[in-house]
Amino acid sequence: MKITEINGTNCKTYLLEANGHAALVDPVRERLETYRAILAQRGLTLDLVLETHMHADHLMLNRAMKDALGACVVMHQASPSPLVDRHLKDNESLELGGEEIKVLHTPGHTPDSVCFVTGGAVFTGDTLLIGGSGRTDFPGGDSRAQFEAVTKRLFALPDDTVVWPAHDYKGKTCSTIGNEKTTNPRFAGKTCAEYIDLMAHLGLPFPDKIQQSLQVNQSGFEADEVAFPLVTDIAKLEPIEAKALAKWIASPQKPLVLDVREPEEFTGDLGHIEGSVLVPLDALEQRLPKLHGYADRDVVMVCRAGARSATAGAILQRAGFRRVVNLDGGMLAWAAAGLPVQR
Ligand SMILES: [Fe+2]
């Protein structure tokens, strides 16, 4: 497997080549044309787009760019994105030009963080950085899970495995597992409790526009500047657990359940809640006039992981809906609770 970092910035995208077939790890939206030029120049067929996690710091591919690249987008099954063609499980294997790419689920920076292992190399995303690790204070972050993932999964790889991170802010390119084990100040000689304490006191500023990037990435929106309300700008949506929602739906005062996923997700693997109404997030603004008859009813927003539905809920709140509740964890949580679905 030939590996090239092709952004030349502190936000890294890797081109993987094997026997004329290619994969991009963590492509950045604004560099699409560069990627296409490199692929054409090298005569490569792009088979896979491998995302290590739901990014908050840059815009990921949108639907038009995904179609232009024509590759299969893969992410962990916990990813909230509607643009994923193949959802990954821990220890699953992918194939590129006859070579194997193994998936390790390494939650902590985000719930959907994975590392990709292939031919003596590991793409660590924001799970393990050179001399550092990805922050765990974004939504869904978990320092304990990250410590376990790094020390038990990544550090179990052979010492000479080359580490390719998603970021480096000091001009470094790669490291090795052996080197990180002995020199990474966040892990070398640290206990899990010490790590959790350290991560809780990093005092990092919240990056500009993180919520915009996240909401665009989670929704697959086409535009960079979409006129959606930021979830943080609005009184937080009331969350509801899957089992509590199931009871509520069975009661006489049942709410309107609005599912804001794409049609293929509504009828796909996870199915949908009986009686729920499908209004994909990108069509919600246009459908508001028709939905206005429900403004005085209780409305529960539903999506895959509870992220897009938070944006959708904020849109309804802005439009004057009286009570908007968000299904916590989305259909993934509904399925995990063993509740019935329709397809
Ligand atoms: Fe990240």
Adjacent-strand bridge partners of 105 = 114
The CA 187 to ligand 1 mean position distance, Å, reads: 19
pLDDT tens digits along 173-210 = 999 999 999 999 999 999 999 999 999 999 888 777 78
- Contact present, 124 and 174 (Cβ < 8 Å): no
Q: Does residue 314 register a pLDDT over 70?
A: yes
The CA 134 to ligand 1 mean position distance, Å, reads: 7
**What average pLDDT does this structure show over 57-86?**
92
The CA 7 to ligand 1 mean position distance, Å, reads: 16
The CA 291 to ligand 1 mean position distance, Å, reads: 36
The CA 338 to ligand 1 mean position distance, Å, reads: 31
Q: Does residue 88 register a pLDDT over 90?
A: yes
The pLDDT score that the predictor gives to residue 224 is 52
The CA 60 to ligand 1 mean position distance, Å, reads: 11
- Contact present, 90 and 103 (Cβ < 8 Å): yes
**What average pLDDT does this structure show over 226-237?**
69
pLDDT tens digits along 109-118 = 999 999 999 9
Across the chain, mean pLDDT equals 93
221 — pLDDT class (breaks 50, 70, 90): confident
For residue 91, give the 3-state DSSP assignment. coil
The pLDDT score that the predictor gives to residue 223 is 62
Q: Does residue 236 register a pLDDT over 80?
A: no
The CA 53 to ligand 1 mean position distance, Å, reads: 7
Q: 139 burial class (0-12, 13-18, 19+ CB within 10 angstroms)? A: middle
For residue 107, give the 3-state DSSP assignment. coil
Sign of CA dihedral 79, 85, 88, 93: negative
231 — pLDDT class (breaks 50, 70, 90): confident
The CA 54 to ligand 1 mean position distance, Å, reads: 7
Among 60-64, 91-95, 146-150, 253-257, name the one with the lowest average pLDDT. 60-64
The CA 135 to ligand 1 mean position distance, Å, reads: 8
Residue predicted with more confidence, 63 or 258: 258
Query: How much of the chain, in percent, has pLDDT values that exceed 70?
Result: 97
Among 24-28, 36-40, 59-63, 270-274, name the one with the lowest average pLDDT. 59-63
The CA 210 to ligand 1 mean position distance, Å, reads: 10
Rounded CA separation 237/232 (Å): 10
Side-chain-side CA neighbours of 29 within 13 Å: the count stands at 19
Rounded CA separation 247/40 (Å): 55
The CA 71 to ligand 1 mean position distance, Å, reads: 22
Note residues around ion ligand 1 (Cβ under 5 angstroms): 126
The CA 204 to ligand 1 mean position distance, Å, reads: 14
Rounded CA separation 180/201 (Å): 22
Helix axes 308-318, 210-219, angle to 10 degrees: 110
Indicate the pTM of the whole model: 0.91
Rounded CA separation 233/25 (Å): 32
The CA 282 to ligand 1 mean position distance, Å, reads: 24
pLDDT tens digits along 125-161 = 999 999 999 999 988 899 999 999 999 999 999 999 9
The CA 289 to ligand 1 mean position distance, Å, reads: 37
The CA 158 to ligand 1 mean position distance, Å, reads: 25
Residue predicted with more confidence, 333 or 282: 333
The CA 109 to ligand 1 mean position distance, Å, reads: 7
Q: Does residue 35 register a pLDDT over 70?
A: yes
| Strand intervals (E) in 43-169 | 45-50, 72-76, 86-88, 93-96, 99-105, 114-118, 121-125, 162-165
The CA 249 to ligand 1 mean position distance, Å, reads: 36
